[in-house]
Amino acid sequence: MTALVIDNIGLLVTGEPELGEGTLGLVRDAALVIEGDTVAAIERAGAAGDERLDAAGRCVIPGFVDSHTHLVFAGDRADEFAARMAGRPYAASGIRVTTAATRDATEDELRRLARARRAEALGAGITHLEIKSGYGLDTEAERRSCAVAAELTDDVTFLGAHAVPPEYEGRPDDYVELVCGEMLDACRPHARWIDVFCEEGAFDADQSRRVLEAGRAAGLGLRVHGNQLGFGPGVQLAVEMGAASVDHCAYMTDEDIAALAGGDDTVATFLPATDFSTRQPYPDARRAIDAGVGVAVATNCNPGSSYTTSMAFCIALAVRDMNMTPEEALLAATRGGARALRRDDVGRLAPGARADAVVLDAPSYTHLVYRPGVPLVGAVVMAGVVVLLEL
Ligand code: NIG
């Protein structure tokens, strides 16, 4: 098998504390030896290989793992964003605007749009991501969305319970029945996860539980959107049902934090670009981390509340506005994302892991925060293949 060596790495973030210094497992003056799609070894700079990528003293990090995206949609909501910046509050009812456009789009259009967004995310250093459906909200449009997502990732989430569509206005229980029956059957072959938006104005605790139970019975893992717009039952429900992740968590009581800390590995996934783009309060990440909660940071790329594929931007917000350290934020966007997807093959650069690496055009990962808005992704290696090289 031919070996690719990323050589002359000034600072290598392995993400494995036992492999180097500190929580990030830092190794200096290193070479990353890759065989096939897997990390084979970490050696001193100057290691031999068939193919060589010279990092020239730069910092190399694990590819970002984006555990929360909604990449499959049509349409644009820039006017809604502009109105919000002028003072109008965020309303999840905007989901219906995207639903109308997504229903009108053909599968080929959705494929082209989703692929372009996936390529944009890769250019931003995201080497693995989760993709949700949730803008179709009828059986065929949800099936189409899941099928398109499954061409781009093996972490597809069925989110039929994203909002009650207009034709079910005032009949949310009937819609939940559709989601748990025919729609789940159609989406199940393409999905690994099921998700529900458990929030006032979307689905209440009982409806959310029904959706999660149906998904579990169909063999899907569980995820929850919760506590985004106010306090509510989402976090507690996610922990109680053993969900892999509860996402948003902008409003958490002491009981919510205690439940997450004492639960069976439900990760709190923070989506700071959402709070930025909706002018909502940021989650109290410090309180959660200090209590021992496992956390992730993700982009939540979607047309309504967070239209970005920049994980670097999310990391900068997590540090600047959520009081996470640069180390905590980087870990949350790599290993944390992997943990939120219950995987250990991505999010770290250790022997045996998938060879997903980003060469930053910077001497240290702190530059992700120190140089906000500057594109620092110099090269991307995904599953052992150099897919982007701009050094
Ligand atoms: O995660 N919270 C629900 N869903 C998306 C936003 C959807 C939209 O506004 O289109 C989110 O923020």
Q: What is the domain-level CATH number for residue 30?
A: 2.30.40.10
Cβ of 153 less than 6 Å from ligand 1: no
For the stretch 12-23, pLDDT in tens is 999 999 999 999
Please indicate, yes or no, whether residues 43 and 145 belong to a single structural domain of this protein.
Answer: no
Alpha helices in the chain (DSSP H): 78-85, 95-104, 107-123, 139-150, 172-178, 184-187, 205-217, 234-240, 254-262, 272-278, 285-290, 311-322, 326-332, 335-340, 367-370
- Using CA positions, which residue lies closest to atom 5 of ligand 1? 305
CA of 228 to the centre of ligand 1 (A): 9
Please indicate, yes or no, whether residues 96 and 115 belong to a single structural domain of this protein.
Answer: yes
Cβ of 94 less than 6 Å from ligand 1: yes
Q: Which domain holds residue 24?
A: 3-63+348-389
Domain boundary pick from 302, 321, 340: 340
CA of 213 to the centre of ligand 1 (A): 22
Please indicate, yes or no, whether residues 32 and 120 belong to a single structural domain of this protein.
Answer: no
Distances (CA, A) of 382 to 4, 142, 387: 12, 29, 7
For the stretch 251-303, pLDDT in tens is 999 999 999 999 999 999 999 999 999 999 999 999 999 999 999 999 999 99
CB atoms within 10 A of CB 345: 13
For the stretch 49-75, pLDDT in tens is 999 999 999 999 999 999 999 999 999
Cβ of 99 less than 6 Å from ligand 1: no
For the cut 80, the answer to whether the pLDDT of residue 362 exceeds it is yes
Please indicate, yes or no, whether residues 47 and 169 belong to a single structural domain of this protein.
Answer: no
Cβ of 276 less than 6 Å from ligand 1: no
CA of 270 to the centre of ligand 1 (A): 13
Please indicate, yes or no, whether residues 254 and 110 belong to a single structural domain of this protein.
Answer: yes
Please indicate, yes or no, whether residues 52 and 73 belong to a single structural domain of this protein.
Answer: no
CA of 290 to the centre of ligand 1 (A): 28
Q: Which atom of ligand 1 is nearest to the CA of 274?
A: 12
Task: Please state, for a pLDDT cut of 70, what percent of the chain lies above it.
Answer: 99
Question: Could you tell me which residues come within 8 angstroms of residue 125 by beta carbon, excluding any fewer than 6 positions away?
Answer: 61, 63, 64, 311, 312, 358, 377, 380
Domain boundary pick from 305, 323, 340: 340
CA of 93 to the centre of ligand 1 (A): 9
- Using CA positions, which residue lies closest to atom 6 of ligand 1? 305
For the cut 90, the answer to whether the pLDDT of residue 92 exceeds it is no
**Residue 90 per-residue DSSP state:** P
For the cut 90, the answer to whether the pLDDT of residue 2 exceeds it is no
Please indicate, yes or no, whether residues 143 and 34 belong to a single structural domain of this protein.
Answer: no
Task: Please state, for a pLDDT cut of 90, what percent of the chain lies above it.
Answer: 98
Quote the pLDDT of residue 136: 98
CA of 302 to the centre of ligand 1 (A): 7
Kindly report the CATH number assigned to the domain that includes residue 123: 3.20.20.140
91-95, 131-135, 274-278, 349-353 — which is least confidently predicted? 91-95
Domain boundary pick from 304, 320, 340: 340
Please indicate, yes or no, whether residues 311 and 384 belong to a single structural domain of this protein.
Answer: no
Cβ of 157 less than 6 Å from ligand 1: no
For the cut 90, the answer to whether the pLDDT of residue 91 exceeds it is no
Cβ of 274 less than 6 Å from ligand 1: yes
Pocket test residue of 68, 299, 302 for ligand 1, highest count of atoms within 8 A of CB: 302
Mean pLDDT of 144-150: 98
Question: Could you tell me which residues come within 8 angstroms of residue 188 by beta carbon, excluding any fewer than 6 positions away?
Answer: 158, 218, 219, 220
Total number of domains in the chain? 2
> What tokens appear for 157 in the block?
């989430």
Please indicate, yes or no, whether residues 380 and 315 belong to a single structural domain of this protein.
Answer: no
For the cut 90, the answer to whether the pLDDT of residue 215 exceeds it is yes
Please indicate, yes or no, whether residues 255 and 180 belong to a single structural domain of this protein.
Answer: yes
C-alpha to C-alpha distance for 235 and 260, rounded to whole angstroms:
8
Please indicate, yes or no, whether residues 33 and 140 belong to a single structural domain of this protein.
Answer: no
**Phi, psi dihedrals of residue 123, rounded to the nearest 5°:** -60, -20
Please indicate, yes or no, whether residues 180 and 219 belong to a single structural domain of this protein.
Answer: yes
Cβ of 197 less than 6 Å from ligand 1: yes
Q: Which atom of ligand 1 is nearest to the CA of 303?
A: 10
For the stretch 300-329, pLDDT in tens is 999 999 999 999 999 999 999 999 999 999
For the cut 80, the answer to whether the pLDDT of residue 90 exceeds it is yes
